[in-house]
Chain A
Amino acid sequence: MLEVKDLRVSYGQSEVIHGIDFVTAKDETLAIMGRNGMGKTTLFKSLIGILPGSSGSIVLDGREVGNLPSHERVAAGLAYVPQGRMIFPNLTVMENIESGLETLKTSKVPDEIFDLFPVLREMRKRKGGNLSGGQQQQLAIARALVSEPKVLLLDEPTEGIQPSIIKDIAHTLNEIRRMKKIAIVVSEQVLSFTMAIADRLAVIEKGKIIHEEEGKSANQEKIASYLAV
Protein backbone atom coordinates (compact mmCIF):
# COMPACT_ATOMS: atom_id res chain seq x y z
CA MET A 1 0.00 0.00 0.00
CA LEU A 2 2.71 2.46 1.04
CA GLU A 3 6.18 1.96 -0.35
CA VAL A 4 9.04 4.22 0.74
CA LYS A 5 12.36 3.89 -1.03
CA ASP A 6 15.66 5.52 -0.14
CA LEU A 7 13.96 8.54 1.42
CA ARG A 8 16.36 11.28 2.45
CA VAL A 9 15.37 14.44 4.32
CA SER A 10 17.55 17.40 5.25
CA TYR A 11 17.21 20.53 7.33
CA GLY A 12 19.27 22.92 5.26
CA GLN A 13 22.66 21.28 4.78
CA SER A 14 22.37 18.64 7.45
CA GLU A 15 20.77 15.37 6.43
CA VAL A 16 18.57 13.86 9.13
CA ILE A 17 16.97 10.89 7.37
CA HIS A 18 19.64 8.87 5.55
CA GLY A 19 17.83 6.74 3.06
CA ILE A 20 14.89 4.93 4.63
CA ASP A 21 13.11 2.01 2.95
CA PHE A 22 9.96 0.34 4.17
CA VAL A 23 6.78 -1.17 2.83
CA THR A 24 3.40 -1.56 4.49
CA ALA A 25 0.70 -3.80 3.16
CA LYS A 26 -3.03 -3.21 3.19
CA ASP A 27 -4.54 -4.17 6.53
CA GLU A 28 -1.22 -4.05 8.33
CA THR A 29 0.10 -1.97 11.21
CA LEU A 30 3.76 -1.02 11.11
CA ALA A 31 5.32 0.54 14.19
CA ILE A 32 8.42 2.64 13.88
CA MET A 33 10.20 2.67 17.21
CA GLY A 34 13.00 4.93 18.24
CA ARG A 35 14.31 7.22 20.91
CA ASN A 36 13.89 10.99 20.84
CA GLY A 37 15.86 12.75 18.13
CA MET A 38 16.25 9.68 15.93
CA GLY A 39 14.14 11.11 13.11
CA LYS A 40 10.66 9.72 13.70
CA THR A 41 8.83 13.01 13.46
CA THR A 42 11.02 14.22 10.59
CA LEU A 43 10.18 11.01 8.72
CA PHE A 44 6.45 11.47 9.28
CA LYS A 45 6.52 15.13 8.33
CA SER A 46 8.22 14.30 5.08
CA LEU A 47 5.74 11.48 4.40
CA ILE A 48 2.81 13.90 4.62
CA GLY A 49 4.69 16.63 2.77
CA ILE A 50 5.23 19.26 5.46
CA LEU A 51 8.99 18.81 4.99
CA PRO A 52 10.28 18.25 1.46
CA GLY A 53 12.31 15.10 0.94
CA SER A 54 15.64 15.69 -0.81
CA SER A 55 15.58 12.39 -2.66
CA GLY A 56 13.86 9.02 -2.75
CA SER A 57 10.34 8.00 -3.55
CA ILE A 58 7.03 7.58 -1.70
CA VAL A 59 4.60 5.39 -3.61
CA LEU A 60 1.02 5.19 -2.36
CA ASP A 61 -1.18 2.52 -3.93
CA GLY A 62 0.95 2.52 -7.07
CA ARG A 63 1.13 6.28 -7.35
CA GLU A 64 4.20 8.43 -6.69
CA VAL A 65 3.23 11.12 -4.16
CA GLY A 66 6.69 12.28 -3.07
CA ASN A 67 6.56 15.46 -5.10
CA LEU A 68 2.97 16.47 -4.33
CA PRO A 69 1.96 19.20 -1.84
CA SER A 70 0.35 17.99 1.42
CA HIS A 71 -3.26 18.49 0.42
CA GLU A 72 -2.86 16.40 -2.74
CA ARG A 73 -1.25 13.61 -0.73
CA VAL A 74 -4.31 13.64 1.51
CA ALA A 75 -6.54 13.47 -1.55
CA ALA A 76 -4.44 10.52 -2.77
CA GLY A 77 -5.16 8.64 0.45
CA LEU A 78 -2.70 9.60 3.20
CA ALA A 79 -3.90 10.87 6.54
CA TYR A 80 -1.75 12.30 9.30
CA VAL A 81 -2.08 12.58 13.06
CA PRO A 82 0.85 14.73 14.15
CA GLN A 83 2.85 14.61 17.33
CA GLY A 84 1.26 16.96 19.83
CA ARG A 85 -2.10 16.45 18.10
CA MET A 86 -2.28 19.92 16.52
CA ILE A 87 -6.03 20.19 16.49
CA PHE A 88 -7.46 23.63 15.71
CA PRO A 89 -7.96 25.05 19.23
CA ASN A 90 -10.41 27.82 18.35
CA LEU A 91 -12.69 25.62 16.27
CA THR A 92 -15.40 23.47 17.80
CA VAL A 93 -14.94 19.72 17.93
CA MET A 94 -17.45 19.31 15.11
CA GLU A 95 -15.66 21.88 12.95
CA ASN A 96 -12.36 20.14 13.63
CA ILE A 97 -13.76 16.87 12.35
CA GLU A 98 -15.39 18.58 9.37
CA SER A 99 -12.04 20.04 8.35
CA GLY A 100 -10.97 16.49 7.53
CA LEU A 101 -13.78 16.15 5.00
CA GLU A 102 -12.04 18.58 2.68
CA THR A 103 -10.99 16.01 0.09
CA LEU A 104 -14.40 14.30 -0.04
CA LYS A 105 -17.58 15.23 -1.85
CA THR A 106 -19.74 14.92 1.24
CA SER A 107 -19.88 17.51 4.00
CA LYS A 108 -21.52 15.24 6.58
CA VAL A 109 -19.49 13.55 9.29
CA PRO A 110 -20.27 9.80 9.19
CA ASP A 111 -21.91 8.34 12.31
CA GLU A 112 -19.27 5.63 12.65
CA ILE A 113 -16.79 8.28 13.78
CA PHE A 114 -18.94 9.01 16.82
CA ASP A 115 -19.36 5.29 17.41
CA LEU A 116 -15.59 5.01 17.59
CA PHE A 117 -15.22 8.14 19.70
CA PRO A 118 -18.43 8.61 21.70
CA VAL A 119 -16.84 11.34 23.83
CA LEU A 120 -16.55 13.55 20.74
CA ARG A 121 -20.30 13.39 20.19
CA GLU A 122 -20.89 14.75 23.69
CA MET A 123 -18.31 17.47 23.18
CA ARG A 124 -19.08 18.41 19.59
CA LYS A 125 -20.04 22.01 20.43
CA ARG A 126 -16.98 22.65 22.63
CA LYS A 127 -13.85 24.32 21.38
CA GLY A 128 -11.13 21.83 20.52
CA GLY A 129 -8.59 23.69 22.64
CA ASN A 130 -10.64 23.11 25.78
CA LEU A 131 -10.50 19.32 25.52
CA SER A 132 -8.11 17.21 27.60
CA GLY A 133 -5.02 15.71 25.99
CA GLY A 134 -6.58 12.28 25.50
CA GLN A 135 -9.73 13.77 24.01
CA GLN A 136 -7.66 15.93 21.69
CA GLN A 137 -5.80 12.82 20.55
CA GLN A 138 -9.10 11.13 19.73
CA LEU A 139 -10.20 14.27 17.90
CA ALA A 140 -7.00 14.31 15.84
CA ILE A 141 -7.51 10.66 14.90
CA ALA A 142 -11.15 11.31 14.02
CA ARG A 143 -10.17 14.28 11.86
CA ALA A 144 -7.66 12.13 9.97
CA LEU A 145 -10.05 9.22 9.65
CA VAL A 146 -12.98 11.05 8.03
CA SER A 147 -10.89 11.66 4.92
CA GLU A 148 -11.21 7.90 4.25
CA PRO A 149 -7.46 7.27 4.00
CA LYS A 150 -5.72 4.23 2.62
CA VAL A 151 -2.77 4.82 4.93
CA LEU A 152 -3.05 6.40 8.37
CA LEU A 153 0.10 7.98 9.79
CA LEU A 154 0.26 8.50 13.54
CA ASP A 155 3.21 10.27 15.11
CA GLU A 156 3.63 9.31 18.78
CA PRO A 157 -0.08 9.06 19.61
CA THR A 158 0.64 8.19 23.27
CA GLU A 159 2.83 11.16 24.08
CA GLY A 160 1.66 12.85 27.25
CA ILE A 161 -1.37 10.65 27.73
CA GLN A 162 -2.27 8.67 30.83
CA PRO A 163 -1.89 4.85 30.73
CA SER A 164 -5.59 3.97 30.87
CA ILE A 165 -6.30 6.18 27.85
CA ILE A 166 -3.31 4.68 26.03
CA LYS A 167 -5.07 1.31 26.28
CA ASP A 168 -8.24 2.85 24.84
CA ILE A 169 -6.29 4.31 21.93
CA ALA A 170 -4.68 0.94 21.18
CA HIS A 171 -8.11 -0.65 21.22
CA THR A 172 -9.51 2.04 18.90
CA LEU A 173 -6.63 1.66 16.44
CA ASN A 174 -7.20 -2.09 16.25
CA GLU A 175 -10.90 -1.44 15.77
CA ILE A 176 -10.19 1.03 12.96
CA ARG A 177 -7.99 -1.49 11.19
CA ARG A 178 -10.58 -4.22 11.57
CA MET A 179 -13.34 -1.97 10.17
CA LYS A 180 -11.44 -0.20 7.41
CA LYS A 181 -8.71 -2.65 6.42
CA ILE A 182 -6.27 0.21 5.99
CA ALA A 183 -2.54 0.38 6.52
CA ILE A 184 -1.43 2.13 9.70
CA VAL A 185 2.06 3.49 10.27
CA VAL A 186 2.71 4.59 13.82
CA SER A 187 5.81 5.97 15.49
CA GLU A 188 6.17 5.07 19.13
CA GLN A 189 8.40 4.79 22.19
CA VAL A 190 5.99 2.88 24.43
CA LEU A 191 6.68 -0.80 23.81
CA SER A 192 3.54 -2.20 25.49
CA PHE A 193 1.35 0.00 23.30
CA THR A 194 3.23 -1.08 20.19
CA MET A 195 2.94 -4.76 21.06
CA ALA A 196 -0.82 -4.32 21.38
CA ILE A 197 -1.28 -2.96 17.86
CA ALA A 198 1.67 -3.73 15.58
CA ASP A 199 2.06 -6.53 13.03
CA ARG A 200 5.59 -5.46 12.36
CA LEU A 201 8.17 -3.38 14.21
CA ALA A 202 11.00 -1.35 12.78
CA VAL A 203 13.60 0.42 14.85
CA ILE A 204 14.89 3.77 13.63
CA GLU A 205 18.21 5.10 14.85
CA LYS A 206 20.02 8.18 13.61
CA GLY A 207 17.84 8.43 10.54
CA LYS A 208 18.13 4.80 9.46
CA ILE A 209 16.07 1.70 10.01
CA ILE A 210 18.45 -0.69 11.77
CA HIS A 211 16.20 -3.54 12.82
CA GLU A 212 12.91 -5.06 11.68
CA GLU A 213 10.86 -8.00 12.91
CA GLU A 214 7.36 -9.47 13.13
CA GLY A 215 5.25 -7.96 15.89
CA LYS A 216 3.80 -11.06 17.57
CA SER A 217 7.10 -12.90 17.86
CA ALA A 218 9.20 -9.82 18.49
CA ASN A 219 12.06 -10.10 20.94
CA GLN A 220 10.88 -7.45 23.35
CA GLU A 221 14.11 -7.29 25.27
CA LYS A 222 16.06 -6.56 22.15
CA ILE A 223 13.66 -3.81 21.07
CA ALA A 224 13.73 -2.36 24.57
CA SER A 225 17.50 -2.22 24.45
CA TYR A 226 17.28 -0.05 21.34
CA LEU A 227 14.88 2.27 23.13
CA ALA A 228 16.94 2.55 26.30
CA VAL A 229 18.91 5.73 26.69
Chain B
Amino acid sequence: MGGFSAQDLTAIFVMQGFAGLSFFSVLLLMALGLAIIYGQMRVINMAHGEFMVIGAYATYLLTSALRHLPGGLDVSVFLAIPVAFLAAFVVGYFIEWLLIRHLYHRPLDTLLATWGLALIMQQGFRSAFGAREVSVPVPDWLRGSYRPTMMIDIPLNGLAIMLLTVLVTVAVWWFLYRSRWGLRVRCTTANREMSGAVGINTKRVDRMTFAIGCGIAGIAGAAFTTISSTGPTSGSLYIVDTFLVVVFGGAGSLVGTIASAFSIAQAQSIMEFFMGGSMAKVLTLLTVIGILLLRPEGLVASKVRR
Protein backbone atom coordinates (compact mmCIF):
# COMPACT_ATOMS: atom_id res chain seq x y z
CA MET B 1 0.00 0.00 0.00
CA GLY B 2 2.60 2.51 -1.15
CA GLY B 3 2.01 6.20 -0.83
CA PHE B 4 -0.02 6.05 2.36
CA SER B 5 1.47 6.91 5.72
CA ALA B 6 0.44 4.95 8.78
CA GLN B 7 -1.70 7.86 9.91
CA ASP B 8 -3.42 8.04 6.52
CA LEU B 9 -4.15 4.36 6.66
CA THR B 10 -5.70 4.57 10.10
CA ALA B 11 -7.94 7.41 8.97
CA ILE B 12 -8.87 5.53 5.81
CA PHE B 13 -9.71 2.39 7.71
CA VAL B 14 -11.75 4.24 10.29
CA MET B 15 -13.71 6.27 7.74
CA GLN B 16 -14.19 3.48 5.22
CA GLY B 17 -14.98 1.22 8.12
CA PHE B 18 -17.64 3.62 9.20
CA ALA B 19 -19.00 3.98 5.67
CA GLY B 20 -19.08 0.20 5.74
CA LEU B 21 -21.08 0.35 8.93
CA SER B 22 -23.71 2.57 7.31
CA PHE B 23 -23.87 0.19 4.36
CA PHE B 24 -24.03 -2.68 6.86
CA SER B 25 -26.99 -1.01 8.58
CA VAL B 26 -29.10 -0.62 5.43
CA LEU B 27 -28.07 -4.08 4.26
CA LEU B 28 -28.97 -5.62 7.59
CA LEU B 29 -32.34 -3.85 7.73
CA MET B 30 -33.08 -5.20 4.26
CA ALA B 31 -31.74 -8.63 5.13
CA LEU B 32 -33.77 -8.92 8.33
CA GLY B 33 -36.98 -8.65 6.36
CA LEU B 34 -35.68 -11.11 3.82
CA ALA B 35 -34.41 -13.45 6.53
CA ILE B 36 -37.99 -13.71 7.71
CA ILE B 37 -39.51 -14.10 4.25
CA TYR B 38 -36.86 -16.30 2.65
CA GLY B 39 -35.26 -17.81 5.73
CA GLN B 40 -38.54 -18.73 7.38
CA MET B 41 -41.08 -19.01 4.58
CA ARG B 42 -38.76 -20.07 1.72
CA VAL B 43 -40.34 -17.49 -0.57
CA ILE B 44 -37.78 -15.97 -2.92
CA ASN B 45 -38.99 -12.40 -2.89
CA MET B 46 -37.28 -10.56 -5.74
CA ALA B 47 -39.51 -7.56 -5.07
CA HIS B 48 -38.03 -7.04 -1.62
CA GLY B 49 -36.03 -4.04 -2.85
CA GLU B 50 -39.22 -2.46 -4.15
CA PHE B 51 -40.79 -2.76 -0.71
CA MET B 52 -37.82 -0.80 0.56
CA VAL B 53 -38.54 1.83 -2.07
CA ILE B 54 -42.16 1.99 -0.92
CA GLY B 55 -40.84 2.86 2.53
CA ALA B 56 -38.54 5.47 1.03
CA TYR B 57 -41.31 7.10 -1.02
CA ALA B 58 -43.64 6.99 1.98
CA THR B 59 -40.97 8.89 3.91
CA TYR B 60 -40.63 11.33 1.03
CA LEU B 61 -44.39 11.98 0.89
CA LEU B 62 -44.62 12.39 4.64
CA THR B 63 -41.72 14.82 4.73
CA SER B 64 -43.09 16.80 1.77
CA ALA B 65 -46.39 17.16 3.58
CA LEU B 66 -44.86 18.20 6.89
CA ARG B 67 -41.75 20.18 5.96
CA HIS B 68 -43.46 23.57 5.75
CA LEU B 69 -45.01 23.31 9.17
CA PRO B 70 -42.92 24.70 12.03
CA GLY B 71 -40.83 21.88 13.44
CA GLY B 72 -42.41 19.55 10.89
CA LEU B 73 -39.09 18.19 9.75
CA ASP B 74 -38.13 17.11 13.26
CA VAL B 75 -41.44 15.34 13.74
CA SER B 76 -41.37 13.65 10.35
CA VAL B 77 -38.05 11.94 11.06
CA PHE B 78 -39.65 10.01 13.88
CA LEU B 79 -43.01 9.58 12.18
CA ALA B 80 -41.32 8.31 9.02
CA ILE B 81 -40.37 4.98 10.56
CA PRO B 82 -43.84 3.78 11.56
CA VAL B 83 -45.36 5.28 8.40
CA ALA B 84 -42.81 3.55 6.16
CA PHE B 85 -43.35 0.30 8.02
CA LEU B 86 -47.10 0.55 7.70
CA ALA B 87 -47.04 1.43 4.00
CA ALA B 88 -44.86 -1.54 3.10
CA PHE B 89 -46.76 -3.78 5.52
CA VAL B 90 -50.12 -3.02 3.91
CA VAL B 91 -48.82 -3.56 0.39
CA GLY B 92 -47.10 -6.78 1.51
CA TYR B 93 -50.30 -8.03 3.12
CA PHE B 94 -52.20 -7.42 -0.09
CA ILE B 95 -49.52 -9.00 -2.30
CA GLU B 96 -49.46 -12.14 -0.16
CA TRP B 97 -53.20 -12.49 -0.59
CA LEU B 98 -53.09 -11.76 -4.29
CA LEU B 99 -49.99 -13.65 -5.39
CA ILE B 100 -47.74 -15.38 -2.89
CA ARG B 101 -50.26 -17.65 -1.17
CA HIS B 102 -50.86 -19.49 -4.42
CA LEU B 103 -47.17 -20.29 -4.77
CA TYR B 104 -46.10 -21.88 -1.46
CA HIS B 105 -45.93 -25.29 -3.08
CA ARG B 106 -43.78 -23.97 -5.92
CA PRO B 107 -40.94 -22.03 -4.30
CA LEU B 108 -39.01 -21.52 -7.52
CA ASP B 109 -42.01 -19.91 -9.18
CA THR B 110 -42.08 -17.25 -6.49
CA LEU B 111 -38.79 -16.07 -7.98
CA LEU B 112 -40.37 -15.40 -11.38
CA ALA B 113 -43.63 -14.06 -9.99
CA THR B 114 -41.98 -11.64 -7.59
CA TRP B 115 -39.48 -10.56 -10.23
CA GLY B 116 -42.43 -9.64 -12.45
CA LEU B 117 -43.98 -7.91 -9.48
CA ALA B 118 -40.75 -5.94 -9.01
CA LEU B 119 -40.89 -4.72 -12.61
CA ILE B 120 -44.53 -3.73 -12.22
CA MET B 121 -43.79 -1.88 -9.01
CA GLN B 122 -40.80 -0.08 -10.53
CA GLN B 123 -42.96 1.14 -13.39
CA GLY B 124 -45.61 2.11 -10.88
CA PHE B 125 -43.10 4.27 -9.01
CA ARG B 126 -41.96 5.80 -12.29
CA SER B 127 -45.52 6.71 -13.23
CA ALA B 128 -46.36 8.07 -9.82
CA PHE B 129 -43.19 9.90 -8.83
CA GLY B 130 -41.32 10.36 -12.12
CA ALA B 131 -38.05 8.85 -13.22
CA ARG B 132 -36.00 11.51 -11.45
CA GLU B 133 -34.64 10.66 -8.07
CA VAL B 134 -36.15 12.48 -5.15
CA SER B 135 -34.34 13.33 -1.97
CA VAL B 136 -35.69 13.82 1.47
CA PRO B 137 -34.47 16.81 3.48
CA VAL B 138 -33.05 15.85 6.85
CA PRO B 139 -33.29 18.10 9.92
CA ASP B 140 -30.23 20.16 10.82
CA TRP B 141 -29.29 18.06 13.82
CA LEU B 142 -28.84 15.02 11.59
CA ARG B 143 -26.54 16.86 9.21
CA GLY B 144 -22.86 17.42 9.70
CA SER B 145 -20.43 15.07 11.31
CA TYR B 146 -18.53 14.06 14.35
CA ARG B 147 -14.77 14.72 14.09
CA PRO B 148 -12.72 13.02 16.77
CA THR B 149 -9.42 13.99 14.99
CA MET B 150 -8.49 16.28 12.09
CA MET B 151 -8.55 13.47 9.56
CA ILE B 152 -11.51 11.40 10.73
CA ASP B 153 -14.98 12.48 9.78
CA ILE B 154 -17.99 10.47 10.87
CA PRO B 155 -21.39 11.54 9.49
CA LEU B 156 -24.20 11.86 12.04
CA ASN B 157 -26.91 10.40 9.82
CA GLY B 158 -24.84 7.22 9.66
CA LEU B 159 -24.82 7.06 13.45
CA ALA B 160 -28.59 7.53 13.54
CA ILE B 161 -29.12 4.67 11.09
CA MET B 162 -26.90 2.42 13.14
CA LEU B 163 -28.96 3.13 16.22
CA LEU B 164 -32.14 2.39 14.30
CA THR B 165 -30.66 -0.86 13.01
CA VAL B 166 -29.80 -2.00 16.51
CA LEU B 167 -33.35 -1.26 17.67
CA VAL B 168 -34.96 -3.05 14.73
CA THR B 169 -32.65 -6.06 15.09
CA VAL B 170 -33.57 -6.44 18.75
CA ALA B 171 -37.25 -6.06 17.87
CA VAL B 172 -37.01 -8.74 15.16
CA TRP B 173 -35.18 -11.09 17.51
CA TRP B 174 -37.82 -10.61 20.17
CA PHE B 175 -40.59 -11.08 17.65
CA LEU B 176 -39.16 -14.31 16.26
CA TYR B 177 -37.83 -15.98 19.38
CA ARG B 178 -39.79 -14.63 22.32
CA SER B 179 -43.28 -13.79 21.11
CA ARG B 180 -46.27 -16.00 20.52
CA TRP B 181 -46.23 -14.87 16.88
CA GLY B 182 -42.66 -15.95 16.43
CA LEU B 183 -43.49 -19.40 17.73
CA ARG B 184 -46.33 -19.67 15.22
CA VAL B 185 -44.02 -18.53 12.44
CA ARG B 186 -41.33 -21.04 13.33
CA CYS B 187 -43.83 -23.88 13.66
CA THR B 188 -45.43 -23.09 10.33
CA THR B 189 -42.08 -22.97 8.58
CA ALA B 190 -40.97 -26.24 10.10
CA ASN B 191 -44.11 -28.18 9.15
CA ARG B 192 -47.16 -26.51 7.69
CA GLU B 193 -49.54 -29.48 7.97
CA MET B 194 -48.53 -30.32 11.51
CA SER B 195 -48.86 -26.68 12.57
CA GLY B 196 -52.45 -26.74 11.39
CA ALA B 197 -52.96 -29.96 13.31
CA VAL B 198 -51.78 -28.39 16.59
CA GLY B 199 -54.24 -25.56 16.07
CA ILE B 200 -52.26 -22.84 14.28
CA ASN B 201 -54.06 -20.87 11.58
CA THR B 202 -51.26 -21.21 9.06
CA LYS B 203 -52.80 -19.02 6.39
CA ARG B 204 -53.03 -16.08 8.75
CA VAL B 205 -49.46 -16.72 9.94
CA ASP B 206 -48.16 -16.71 6.36
CA ARG B 207 -49.87 -13.45 5.55
CA MET B 208 -48.69 -11.67 8.68
CA THR B 209 -45.15 -13.00 8.34
CA PHE B 210 -44.82 -11.86 4.76
CA ALA B 211 -46.33 -8.48 5.59
CA ILE B 212 -44.01 -7.96 8.56
CA GLY B 213 -40.98 -8.88 6.45
CA CYS B 214 -42.09 -6.29 3.90
CA GLY B 215 -42.71 -3.75 6.66
CA ILE B 216 -39.13 -4.13 7.86
CA ALA B 217 -37.96 -3.49 4.30
CA GLY B 218 -40.06 -0.32 4.52
CA ILE B 219 -38.10 0.74 7.61
CA ALA B 220 -34.91 0.11 5.63
CA GLY B 221 -36.36 2.47 3.01
CA ALA B 222 -36.94 5.20 5.59
CA ALA B 223 -33.34 4.82 6.74
CA PHE B 224 -32.13 4.74 3.15
CA THR B 225 -33.52 8.24 2.46
CA THR B 226 -31.07 9.79 4.92
CA ILE B 227 -27.99 8.52 3.09
CA SER B 228 -29.06 8.55 -0.54
CA SER B 229 -31.73 9.83 -2.90
CA THR B 230 -34.58 7.57 -3.93
CA GLY B 231 -35.43 6.55 -7.50
CA PRO B 232 -37.76 3.93 -8.96
CA THR B 233 -34.91 1.43 -9.32
CA SER B 234 -33.06 2.10 -6.04
CA GLY B 235 -34.32 -1.15 -4.60
CA SER B 236 -33.01 -3.35 -7.36
CA LEU B 237 -29.46 -2.21 -6.56
CA TYR B 238 -29.71 -3.79 -3.15
CA ILE B 239 -31.60 -7.01 -3.82
CA VAL B 240 -28.60 -9.09 -4.93
CA ASP B 241 -26.48 -8.01 -1.98
CA THR B 242 -29.36 -8.71 0.35
CA PHE B 243 -29.87 -12.24 -0.90
CA LEU B 244 -26.14 -12.74 -0.66
CA VAL B 245 -26.28 -11.73 2.99
CA VAL B 246 -29.18 -14.05 3.83
CA VAL B 247 -27.77 -17.09 2.02
CA PHE B 248 -24.22 -16.51 3.27
CA GLY B 249 -25.41 -16.06 6.83
CA GLY B 250 -27.41 -19.26 6.86
CA ALA B 251 -31.09 -18.92 6.08
CA GLY B 252 -33.19 -18.70 9.17
CA SER B 253 -30.40 -17.67 11.51
CA LEU B 254 -30.46 -14.15 12.90
CA VAL B 255 -26.89 -14.23 14.22
CA GLY B 256 -25.67 -15.53 10.86
CA THR B 257 -27.50 -12.76 9.03
CA ILE B 258 -25.90 -10.09 11.23
CA ALA B 259 -22.42 -11.59 10.91
CA SER B 260 -22.66 -11.96 7.16
CA ALA B 261 -24.10 -8.46 6.62
CA PHE B 262 -21.23 -7.08 8.67
CA SER B 263 -18.47 -8.96 6.91
CA ILE B 264 -19.82 -8.33 3.42
CA ALA B 265 -20.39 -4.62 4.03
CA GLN B 266 -16.99 -4.11 5.64
CA ALA B 267 -15.07 -6.09 3.05
CA GLN B 268 -16.82 -4.23 0.26
CA SER B 269 -16.33 -0.81 1.76
CA ILE B 270 -12.64 -1.11 2.66
CA MET B 271 -11.61 -2.85 -0.55
CA GLU B 272 -13.54 -0.30 -2.57
CA PHE B 273 -11.16 2.43 -1.49
CA PHE B 274 -8.08 0.62 -2.72
CA MET B 275 -9.25 -1.18 -5.85
CA GLY B 276 -12.49 0.40 -7.01
CA GLY B 277 -16.09 -0.79 -6.76
CA SER B 278 -16.16 -3.54 -9.38
CA MET B 279 -13.02 -5.32 -8.22
CA ALA B 280 -14.19 -5.12 -4.63
CA LYS B 281 -17.47 -6.74 -5.62
CA VAL B 282 -15.74 -9.48 -7.61
CA LEU B 283 -13.48 -10.32 -4.68
CA THR B 284 -16.37 -10.33 -2.20
CA LEU B 285 -18.45 -12.60 -4.40
CA LEU B 286 -15.56 -15.01 -4.96
CA THR B 287 -14.89 -15.23 -1.24
CA VAL B 288 -18.55 -15.81 -0.47
CA ILE B 289 -18.79 -18.54 -3.11
CA GLY B 290 -15.64 -20.15 -1.73
CA ILE B 291 -17.00 -20.17 1.81
CA LEU B 292 -20.39 -21.45 0.70
CA LEU B 293 -18.66 -24.35 -1.06
CA LEU B 294 -17.14 -25.32 2.26
CA ARG B 295 -20.26 -24.56 4.32
CA PRO B 296 -23.29 -25.03 2.07
CA GLU B 297 -25.76 -24.11 4.82
CA GLY B 298 -24.13 -20.76 5.45
CA LEU B 299 -22.10 -19.36 8.32
CA VAL B 300 -24.48 -20.39 11.08
CA ALA B 301 -26.42 -23.59 10.53
CA SER B 302 -28.63 -25.02 13.22
CA LYS B 303 -27.41 -28.35 14.54
CA VAL B 304 -30.12 -30.91 15.01
CA ARG B 305 -30.57 -34.60 14.21
CA ARG B 306 -32.43 -35.21 11.00
Contacts and interface: CB of A to CB of B under 8 A. Distances in A.
A88 B193 contact: no
B199 A86 contact: no
B229 to A, nearest CB: 41
Given A107-B180, A127-B304, A129-B306, A88 B186 contact: yes
Interface in B229-264: none
Nearest to A78: B197
Interface stretch (A93-101, A113-121, A191-199): A93-101
Assign chain B's interface to a size class: 20 to 34
Nearest to A102: B199
Nearest to A88: B190
A67 interface: no
A70 B198 CA distance: 8
Nearest to B182: A95
Contact of B199 (A90, A103, A129): A103
Interface in A95-145: 95, 98-100, 102-103, 107, 127, 129-130, 143-144
Contact of B191 (A71, A88, A144): A88
A85 B246 CA distance: 31
Interface residues of A, number: 28
A90 B195 CA distance: 14
Contacts of A99: 183-184, 187, 195, 198, 200
B187 A144 contact: no
B202 A71 contact: yes
Given A88-B187, A127-B304, A130-B305, A100 B197 contact: no
B196 A86 contact: no
Contact of B196 (A71, A90, A91): A71
A48 interface: yes
Nearest to A101: B199
Given A107-B180, A129-B304, A50 B197 contact: yes
Contact of A71 (B201, B302, B304): B201
Contacts of B193: 50, 70
B196 A69 contact: yes
Nearest to B190: A88
Contacts of A129: 304-306
A53 interface: no
Residue of B186, B199, B201, B306 with most partner-chain A CB within 10 A: B199
Nearest to B177: A95
Contact of A143 (B198, B202, B302, B304): B198
A76 B271 CA distance: 60
A131 B255 CA distance: 24
Contacts of A161: none
B160 interface: no
B203 to A, nearest CB: 8
A224 interface: no
Contacts of B191: 86, 88
Interface in A142-156: 143-144, 147
Given A90-B190, A129-B305, A82 B199 contact: no
B194 interface: yes
A11 to B, nearest CB: 15
A88 B183 CA distance: 11
A50 B200 contact: no
B197 A49 contact: yes
A20 B306 CA distance: 35
Interface string B151-192: 000000000000000000000000000001001101100110
A132 B187 CA distance: 20
A89 B196 contact: no
Given A82-B197, A99-B187, A103-B199, 19 more contacts: A50-B196, A50-B197, A69-B201, A71-B200, A74-B198, A74-B199, A86-B194, A88-B186, A89-B306, A90-B186, A91-B187, A95-B183, A98-B183, A99-B198, A102-B199, A102-B200, A129-B306, A144-B198, A147-B198
Interface of A: 48-50, 69-71, 74-75, 80, 82, 86, 88-91, 95, 98-100, 102-103, 107, 127, 129-130, 143-144, 147
14 contacts: A70-B196, A71-B201, A71-B202, A74-B198, A80-B198, A82-B197, A86-B194, A89-B304, A90-B186, A90-B190, A99-B183, A99-B187, A99-B195, A100-B198
Interface of B: 180, 183-184, 186-187, 190-191, 193-202, 302, 304-306
